[in-house]
Structure 1
Amino acid sequence: MGIKPSKSRQNLIDNLVEPRLLNVPDNTKALQLLTNLNYFQVINGLENIFLSTNNPKKFNKVSIYDFERLYYDSKKIATEISRSLDDFEERLKGSISYHFSQAYCKNINDTMQYTNKNNYRDATEFVGYPLISGQYGKIIRTFNETTNSKKFLFFQPWFLTNLVQQNDHVDENFYRDTQYTAPNNVVSYINDSQVAVPLWVAIETLTFGSLIYLCHYLKDDDMSNVLNDFGLTANDRMIFLNVLDVLKELRNHIAHGNLLFRFQTPAYIKFTNDFVNRFQLNPRTRGTISTNRRVSYASEIYLYDALKILNNFYSTKNTVRQFKKMFYHNMKSMQSAEIYNNRIIRMIGAPSYRHLKDLT
């Protein structure tokens, strides 16, 4: 395709009208639309849904307002998914902080035991750890990192100092106790050794990615309690870690404003057979086995499969409801809407509209 030079908004509109035959009833409104929204996201991102021919690219009785409507409908769907992901993340933070604190931080002097590496497991000691050559390699290696700046967040010597100084809601006076004495191997606050911040406060500042690290590092009994909160067993640990991989990618995709329908997990995120089979996923790459040895793993799933996974932990009923509204808006506003709706269904990797509706 080659590198395209920058064009004025008017030139972009003119190119849509002729030769692509897009209906632009009001040029002023069209200019405002491209001022408010990114052309690459709205037009390039959705054009394959509306094109009547690909070579040359042409539209048939499609308006620029159809692009605008579909874009905003997709944003509403993304908002619903984001709410479910936020709930999932909050639930995970609460579960980890509760069970870990019950095991290691029940006394005042043990408040900072979550920064003691001895309270976690070293996964390098486990032979045959799955996906060690894939996305989990860096996570496992980080556990034994000796360079302070490369250590896991909780193990960095300045963690508590940064936590207090970079978060206005963490008041050092509130978390100061004259009876607190820091034990060995925990992180201390550089300005006052009697300041300690509980895990259930500190964990709220962690990214979803850091939570994944924690779920690799938690000892078996502690992680088993977390899994139980999500309706899983100790044997489901690796499946759950793959769940977190997918939900993190979906969360980041939405947070960065990317077009929802084009969601696809990156190729470097690999999936175990147990994970694929548990959720009956349809990855783009299946993985291969040679002489009873796995050569490569499955990878790359689309939005429908990600919603199937999420639906096992939080209802996607409101998300599906927004899909239904979007399809209805298309049917009400456009000729050939059934074709466009089916293209959306295929784009998100759903076998059919019925399968999507079943995620309630």
Structure 2
Amino acid sequence: MTREKAFKTIEEQILIQRGRNLKITDEPGMVSFIQQKNYFNSINGFETIFLETSNPKKYMKRVSFKDFERIYTLDRNIAKYLFQEIEKIEVELKSRIAYEFSKVHCNNGIASNLKYLDINCYVLPIAHNRNSFTEYFYTHGDNKKTHSFFRVHTISAKIKDVMFTGKISTSHTRNGDVYYNLEGDFDGIVDDLKINQYRGRFSIKASNTPSNISSLNGSMNVTIQINNIEGRFFELSYSDFCKIKYPYISSYKNPPLWVIIDTLMLNDLLVLFQGLDIAIQNKIMSEMGFDSSISGSREKFINACEILRELRNQLAHFGLITRYRTGNSILINRLFISDLLLTPKRNNRVLKFYQGLKILNSFNRFSLKRIDRAIQSYYLKNMLLLKFDINKNFFNRIGK
């Protein structure tokens, strides 16, 4: 069933809350709170915890605006602590992938630094170990389903002082624009970055192309100096793309994995993990808290990573974290369910917030201590205020 909501001013929203028996002793404070926190999140997001009846909506006795302030503050504190815990896992995963892969494949000096771009250094996931990340590891010819390391990249740039060696040709867009394409090697300064080398195709609009370049159209193996020309690079490797996009990488001719790994978002990191040799995977999992010698550990690790990704995305969008439920697409691992006494909502899917945290607690670097302390402090405050039903409803919401 769809719902419709008409716009209400803050004054009207407060009148609605008074009509539901909410005690408001500081109306200016509530106005400021709603303006800063968003009514949908700060009021609608928590009201069911405080309601005595839902139809019509009436709050329990002695529920006040202060209760909304306290629970909103709790939610934001939990979100802050959770982000810090997730960050520790993400940083460790980056570090361990970079180290373990490089130890095996990039151990032959600087010449082997770019082995992480070679698909032959990976093992393509097979049917029996596929999961929600593997579909995006490597599909030849499909950029949307291929990890960034194994596809070509595009970026706008300004060539300041570069020696180009390669071929020059023209291309036409559908609307008739003409571009000159320089395909080959570029050695020099791009975007005021440090002198470096790149390989790809640089496309310049005809109207911006100087005659010393346009006159060489169709030439092969030319060498020409290029200065102060704006255009767009195509067909760059991921390492060359990063040398232009991230200034801190621009000083590396062949940026190693332990430098390039920081450019990956969590999802890209988890996709990359899928193609690592099983021995590398096992080493990483064991170091992070999942004993690879035990059957089913890899499946548990991946399941924990799925929840990690969802929570990370929830935090990135500043949603109420205590309302989190695992998505319907995530099948909760049966070993987690039995070992941690979890209670999925249906068909081993949909866990409440705190039960999802119990899964993340399987990572060595993850700790529930600060989150538990924040919850305990909130619980004790409600006990002192004789607001037992609020505690019961909150614990039911988060699955604790």
Instruction: Report the TM-score, using the length of structure 2 for normalisation.
Output: 0.73
1:165 corresponds to which of 219, 244, 247: 244
Q: Which of these residues, 346, 350, 357, is aligned with residue 396 of structure 2?
A: 346
Using the TM superposition, give the Cα deviation of residue 345 of structure 1 relative to its aligned residue in structure 2, in angstroms. Answer: 0.8
| Partners of 1:35 and 1:143 in 2: CA distance | 46
Which residue matches 2:141?
146
**Aligned-partner SS, 2:46:** helix
Structure 1: how far apart are the matches of 2:142 and 2:67?
53
Say which structure is richer in helix.
Answer: 1
Letter of the 1:209 counterpart:
N
Deviation of 1:28 after TM superposition, in Å, equals 1.7
| 1:282 and 2:282 correspond | no
Aligned to 2:322, the other structure's residue is in SS state: helix
For 1:185, the equivalent position in structure 2 comes to none
- The sequence identity of aligned pairs, in percent, is 29
1: CA distance, partners of 2:125 / 2:370:
39
Moved more, 45-54 or 152-161: 152-161
Query: What letter matches 2:49 in structure 1?
Result: I
- Specify every segment of 5 or more residues in structure 2 that has no aligned partner in the other structure, as ranges: 153-235
> 1:189 is matched with which residue?
none
Q: 1:22 to 1:211 in 2, by over 3 A?
A: same
Instruction: Map 1:209-358 to 2 at 5 A.
Output: 209-231=267-289, 232-233=291-292, 235=295, 236-286=297-347, 298-313=348-363, 314-332=366-384, 334-335=385-386, 337-350=387-400
More displaced, 214-223 or 310-319? 310-319
Q: Is the 8 A contact 2:136 2:271 kept in 1?
A: no
Which of these residues, 117, 120, 123, is aligned with residue 121 of structure 1? Answer: 123
Taking the aligned partners of 2:338 and 2:274, their CA distance within structure 1 comes to 21
Partners in 2 of 1:148 and 1:26 — Cα distance?
55
Q: CA, structure 1 residues 73+275, in 2 after alignment: closer, same or farther (shift >3 Å)? A: closer
Deviations 1:85-106, CA, capped at 9 Å, x for gaps: 1111111111111100000012
Q: Which has the larger radius of gyration?
A: 2
Mapping of 1:81-160 within 5 angstroms?
Answer: 81-106=82-107, 107-124=109-126, 126=127, 128-129=128-129, 131=131, 135-136=132-133, 139-140=134-135, 142-148=137-143, 150-157=145-152, 158=236, 159-160=238-239
Deviation digits for residues 219-274 of structure 1 (CA, Å, limit 9, x no counterpart): 11111111121232154112101110011111211221111221101101223433
Q: CA deviation at 1:278?
A: 4.2
Task: Look up the match of 1:41.
Answer: 41
Partner of 1:208: 266
Residue deviations 1:111-166 (CA, integer Å, cap 9, x gap):
11111111111113x4x3355xxx34xx3364123134642111122312331222
Distance 1:206 1:278, change over 3 A: farther
In the TM superposition, residue 275 of structure 1 has moved relative to its aligned partner by: 4.2
Determine the C-alpha separation between the residues in 2 that align with 1:69 and 1:16. Answer: 17
d(CA) in 2 for partners of 1:64, 1:130: 49
Letter in 2 for 1:69: R
Q: Which residue does 2:220 correspond to in 1?
A: none
Secondary structure of 1:58's match? strand
Amino acid at match of 1:319: I
CA contact (8 A) 2:138 2:147 kept: yes
Residues 130 and 272 of structure 1, relative CA distance in 2, 3 Å threshold: farther
Matched residue type, 2:25: P
In structure 2, the partner of 1:188 is none
Q: CA deviation at 1:285?
A: 1.9
Q: Return the letter of the residue paired with 2:34.
A: L
Instruction: Determine if contact 1:74/1:261 at 8 Å carries over to the other structure.
Output: yes
In structure 2, the partner of 1:353 is none
Alignment of 1:13-92 (within 5 A): 13-18=14-19, 20-59=20-59, 60-92=61-93
Greater per-residue strand proportion: 2
Q: CA RMSD in A?
A: 1.8
Deviations 1:274-331 (A, max 9, x none): 3433443221123xxxxxxxxxxx2211112122122222221111011111222333
Note the C-alpha offset of 1:24.
1.3
5+ long unaligned stretches in structure 1: 176-194, 287-297, 351-360
Structure-2 change in CA distance of 1:98 and 1:166 (3 Å)? same
Once residues 70 and 333 of structure 2 are traced to their aligned partners in structure 1, the CA distance between those partners, rounded to angstroms, is: 39
Aligned partners of 1:242 and 1:275 also within 8 Å? no
Change in 2 beyond 3 A, CA 1:303/1:148: closer
Give the direction of change, closer, same or farther, for the CA distance of 1:271–1:73 in structure 2 (3 Å limit): closer
Report how far residue 63 of structure 1 moved. 1.1
Q: Deviations over 1:313-358 (max 9, x none)?
A: 22211110111112223334x44x21111111111112xxxxxxxx
Three-state SS of the structure 2 residue aligned to 1:52 is: strand
Deviations 1:68-91 (A, max 9, x none): 121011111121111111111111
